């Protein structure tokens, strides 16, 4: 139950710009590779703007809007043009089409920032509602749970993920309890509120692993870095994958890649 | 774990018993809310959106609706008072009591009276005041504060309450909830009869008809009025809705959102003092509209928070509130709504409560359940920005300085250099990384392996 925050009438062409996200740039290169491989498979022409860094969210959430604007301005200039911008993260996408507008509400360059947001898509939202693909021709034998990260609220990404995953041959997507509850990451929140963050993480892990899945999937590496880091510390055996990796590997399993 | 944020420390140090009470209470109410709205409406979001628009419209024309409400009340025979600040509000109540020669007040639950600390003020002036909502009555005998705006004693358990009743001479120790309730009922029945004035809040005020609407589950607000000659309704100026017709929307939302009830048990519509041909009811009705910084909030960029109808749904769904409980917020209004409203209502004491908007992972669950669709996360963010600009120390505790990071992120050469250099991190034991954020993080989490630049290299060489 959520009202949409995503901008209407975003461009849907197949010539796209890829926003890697700072986390994939620094820590999760395979997620970025998987994103490229599935966009390639769909026939997209991908441009990777070289000057890209971060979407500005860490400072924005920390309340340091002046520094956040510096980073957002840089991002807007880096992703110039009118192509759709594809991001393998609901969080960075929401930062650009929703958060940035707040940070710039009193700034002169708000129109440019708004236009930037009006081209930005979370990856799976783009595949399903941008390109109109609702069947994924892959194969992946696994019992799976999906962490609906908080920044997917107010978007159609959760429906999109559900449509694609349930169409993959072999995927047994299991519902989880308390899907609306946050995993406790929240960027700098996890640093300044370590005790609450950890308790939230424990509850999320409990719900995500209650059915003993083969794979715990998510659309945001921020959340996964936090609760995945907790799972690793506790030596939990569940495999974790970004949704892009699931889609890419399913194509490989089906011999399509 | 080490932490500097007060709300995080409260959560860490909470006893298991209190934590469980808060957590389970909140979770249960969230589940009931979800079930009630989902069962009765195909698209509850449309209702929330509409209710939000009605409230926002009212706030944006509050001058007009306040005047209209005043005229309607006076037409109905009620006397209207305006109190700009806390002191005036309290004195107005006292003056009304003195004017009518009242010594003893029975009152129903009102968060505004908590905000004004009205009870202690009147007691200091020699008046007797009795809380008649069961939860509030228990808080009164324990000299405690509500930890939740709808279920004020959610942090307590029946054993503690049984001890309090024993101490107050309300019977031998007995922790059976029904027995506790019966004893409170018997005790309060006499208090209603002994009192000479009844005070209530108002959940809604219709400007068109001059009716106040009260929703309760105990019927105590009715009793507060039944045997008394004077009724005071003390109301925040944001409680107005334009017409009676709007109430259909709000009454359908408030019960479902707060407690998962289709309708609260008692819904009263009070359109003034008793008429000549009515046998019973208060002969005098006074309505006190209280500002107490609400116009400041209205003038701020967080005015949407004044739409709030105090249902408590945002508290119940909030993962931070569930862990910390309501008292952690050190103010009358806890949870997500309190994290916005309390620092704003604090006026120049804003810096003391500037950490409250930080107590959120910005997950947005509060916005998703809000019956008047308040964009709470956006408001929390605006207050974080305000706290940073005003240098409020409480807010910044534990938040890393991001100036260097911002410089790096706006200069691609620096960014790429850092991506390459970061690889050295893989060769030193991570526990030795001297950054406080990294140290705090690693207490319970393993850091991911650094792979900076790998994807860019792969992308360049693909095909």
Q: Copy the structure tokens of residue B339.
A: 């994290």
Q: Where are the domains of chain B?
A: 7-28+307-396, 61-292, 407-461
Alpha carbon of B157: minimum distance to chain A alpha carbons (Å): 23
Name which of A52, A70, A233 is nearest B444 (Cβ-Cβ): A233
Residues from chain B contacting residue A150 (CB–CB below 8 Å): 361-365
CB B48 within 8 A of CB B370: yes
Chain B interface, mutation test: which of A196, A197, A206, most B Cβ atoms within 10 Å? A196
**Is residue B399's pLDDT more than 90?**
no
List per-residue pLDDT tens for chain A, 257 residues long.
Answer: 568 899 999 999 999 999 999 999 999 999 999 999 999 999 999 999 999 999 999 999 999 999 999 999 999 999 999 999 999 999 999 999 999 999 999 999 999 999 999 999 999 999 999 999 999 999 999 999 999 999 999 999 999 999 999 999 999 999 999 999 999 999 999 999 999 999 999 999 999 999 999 999 999 999 999 999 999 999 999 999 999 999 999 999 999 99
Name which of A102, A153, A185 is nearest B364 (Cβ-Cβ): A153
Indicate whether this complex's ipTM tops 0.90. Answer: yes
Cβ contacts below 8 Å, chain A against chain B, sum to: 225
Which strand (E) or helix (H) includes residue B285?
strand B284-290
> Which of the four pLDDT bands, split at 50, 70 and 90, describes residue B462?
confident
Scan for tokens 């209280």, then name that residue: B290
Segment B272-291 mean pLDDT: 94
Alpha carbon of B33: minimum distance to chain A alpha carbons (Å): 12
Distance CA B90, CA B97 (A): 11
Classified by CATH at the fold level, domain B61-292 comes out as: Rossmann fold (3.40.50)
How many other CB atoms are there within 10 angstroms of residue B379's CB atom?
26
Scan for tokens 């790998």, then name that residue: B454
Distance CA B18, CA B138 (A): 16
For the purposes of burial, counting CB atoms within 10 Å of the CB of B348, is it exposed (0-12), middle (13-18) or buried (19 or more)? exposed
Selection from B210, B277, B275 nearest residue B239 by Cα = B210
DSSP A173: E
Distance CA A120, CA A84 (A): 6
Q: What is the pLDDT of residue B165?
A: 97
Residues from chain A contacting residue B44 (CB–CB below 8 Å): 1
Residues from chain B contacting residue A61 (CB–CB below 8 Å): 362, 381, 384
At B216 the three-state DSSP class reads strand
Residues from chain A contacting residue B444 (CB–CB below 8 Å): 194, 198, 201, 229-230, 233
pLDDT digits over B432-443, tens only? 555 666 777 788
Alpha carbon of B336: minimum distance to chain A alpha carbons (Å): 14
**Is residue B222's pLDDT more than 70?**
yes
Mutual orientation of helices A243-253 and A29-41 as an angle, nearest 10°? 50
C-alpha to C-alpha distances, A233 to A26, A237, B258, B432, B445, nearest whole angstrom: 21, 11, 38, 17, 5
Residues from chain B contacting residue A182 (CB–CB below 8 Å): 319, 361, 363, 365
**Does the domain made of A132-253 have the CATH classification 3.40.50?**
yes
Q: Where are the domains of chain A?
A: 15-129, 132-253
Chain B interface, mutation test: which of A28, A184, A192, A218, most B Cβ atoms within 10 Å? A192
Q: Copy the structure tokens of residue B425.
A: 């991190």
**Is residue B1's pLDDT more than 70?**
no
CB A201 within 8 A of CB A223: no
**Is residue B401's pLDDT more than 90?**
no
CB B254 within 8 A of CB B309: yes
What is the bridge-based pairing of β-strands B204-206 and B240-241? parallel
Q: Copy the structure tokens of residue B227.
A: 């045997």
Chain A interface, mutation test: which of B430, B446, B455, B457, most A Cβ atoms within 10 Å? B455
Average pLDDT, chain B: 94
pLDDT digits over B104-128, tens only? 999 999 999 999 999 999 999 999 9
- The structure's pTM equals 0.96
Alpha carbon of B135: minimum distance to chain A alpha carbons (Å): 27
Alpha carbon of A11: minimum distance to chain B alpha carbons (Å): 24
- Selected from 1.10.3470, 1.10.1060, 3.10.50, 1.20.5, the CATH number assigned to the domain covering B7-28+307-396 reads 1.10.1060
Q: What is the pLDDT of residue B433?
A: 59
Distance CA B78, CA B64 (A): 19
Task: Answer yes or no: do B409 and A186 touch at CB < 8 A.
Answer: no
Task: Answer yes or no: do B412 and A25 touch at CB < 8 A.
Answer: no
**Is residue B431's pLDDT more than 70?**
no
Chain B interface, mutation test: which of A191, A198, A248, most B Cβ atoms within 10 Å? A191
Residues ≥6 apart with Cβ < 8 Å to B22: B14, B147, B154, B155, B321, B322, B324, B325, B326
């Amino acid at each position: 139950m959520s009202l949409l925050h995503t901008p209407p009438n975003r461009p849907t062409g197949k010539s796209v710009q890829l926003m890697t996200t700072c986390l994939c740039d620094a820590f999760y290169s395979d997620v970025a590779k998987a994103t490229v491989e599935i966009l390639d498979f769909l026939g997209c022409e991908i441009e990777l703007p070289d000057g890209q860094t971060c979407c500005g969210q860490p400072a924005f959430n920390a309340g340091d809007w002046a520094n956040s604007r510096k980073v957002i301005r840089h991002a807007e200039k880096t992703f110039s043009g009118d192509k759709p911008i594809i991001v393998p993260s609901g969080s960075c996408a929401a930062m650009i089409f929703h958060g940035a507008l707040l940070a710039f509400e009193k700034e002169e360059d708000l129109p440019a920032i708004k236009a930037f947001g009006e081209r930005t898509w979370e990856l799976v939202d783009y595949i399903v509602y941008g390109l109109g693909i609702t069947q994924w021709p892959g194969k992946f034998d696994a019992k799976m749970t999906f962490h609906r990260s908080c920044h997917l609220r107010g978007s159609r990404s959760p429906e999109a993920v559900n449509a694609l995953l349930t169409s993959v041959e072999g995927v047994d997507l299991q519902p989880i309890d308390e899907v609306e509850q946050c995993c406790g990451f929240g960027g700098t929140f996890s640093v300044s509120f370590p005790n609450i963050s950890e308790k939230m993480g424990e509850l999320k892990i409990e719900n995500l692993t209650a059915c003993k899945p083969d794979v715990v999937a998510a659309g945001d590496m921020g959340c996964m870095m936090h609760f995945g880091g907790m799972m690793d510390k506790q030596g939990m055996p569940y495999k974790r994958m970004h949704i892009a990796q699931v889609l890419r590997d399913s194509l490989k399993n089906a011999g399509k890649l | 774990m080490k932490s500097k944020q007060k709300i995080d420390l409260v959560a860490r140090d909470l006893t298991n018993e209190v934590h469980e009470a808060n957590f389970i209470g909140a979770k249960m109410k969230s589940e009931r809310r979800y079930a009630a709205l989902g069962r009765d409406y195909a698209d509850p979001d449309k209702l929330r959106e509409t209710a939000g628009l009605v409230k926002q419209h009212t706030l944006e024309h509050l001058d007009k609706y306040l005047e209209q409400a005043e005229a309607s009340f006076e037409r109905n025979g009620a006397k209207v008072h305006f109190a700009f600040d806390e002191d005036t509000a309290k004195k107005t109540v006292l003056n009304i009591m003195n004017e009518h020669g009242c010594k003893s007040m029975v009152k129903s639950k009102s968060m505004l009276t908590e905000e004004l600390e009205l009870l202690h003020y009147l007691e200091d002036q020699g008046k007797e005041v009795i809380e008649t909502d069961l939860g509030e009555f228990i808080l009164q005998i324990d000299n405690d504060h509500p930890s939740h705006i709808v279920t004020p004693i959610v942090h307590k358990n029946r054993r503690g309450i049984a001890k309090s009743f024993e101490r107050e001479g309300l019977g031998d120790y007995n922790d059976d909830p029904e027995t506790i309730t019966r004893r409170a009922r018997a005790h309060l029945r006499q208090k209603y009869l002994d009192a000479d004035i009844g005070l209530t809040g108002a959940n809604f005020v219709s400007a068109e008809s001059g009716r106040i609407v009260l929703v309760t589950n105990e019927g105590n607000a009715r009793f507060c009025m039944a045997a008394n000659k004077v009724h005071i309704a003390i109301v925040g100026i944001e409680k107005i809705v334009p017409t009676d017709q709007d109430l259909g929307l709000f009454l359908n939302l408030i019960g479902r959102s707060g407690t998962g009830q289709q309708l609260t048990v008692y819904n009263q519509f009070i359109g003034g003092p008793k008429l000549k041909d009515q046998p019973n009811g208060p002969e005098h009705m006074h309505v006190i509209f209280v500002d107490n910084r609400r116009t400041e909030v209205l003038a701020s960029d967080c005015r949407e928070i004044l739409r709030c109808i105090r249902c408590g749904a945002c508290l119940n769904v909030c993962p931070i509130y569930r862990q910390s409980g309501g008292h952690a917020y050190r103010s009358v209004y806890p949870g997500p709504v309190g994290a916005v409203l309390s620092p704003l209502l604090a006026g120049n004491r804003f810096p003391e409560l500037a950490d409250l908007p930080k107590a959120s992972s910005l997950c947005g669950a509060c916005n998703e359940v809000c019956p008047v669709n308040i964009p709470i996360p956006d408001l929390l963010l605006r207050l974080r920005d305000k706290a940073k600009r005003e240098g409020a120390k409480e807010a910044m505790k534990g938040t890393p300085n991001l100036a260097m990071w911002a410089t790096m992120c706006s200069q691609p050469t620096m960014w790429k250099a850092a991506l390459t250099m970061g690889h050295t991190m893989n060769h030193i034991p991570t526990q030795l990384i001297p950054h406080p954020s990294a140290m705090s993080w690693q207490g319970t989490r393993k850091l991911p392996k650094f792979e900076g630049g790998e994807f860019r290299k792969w992308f360049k060489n693909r095909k």
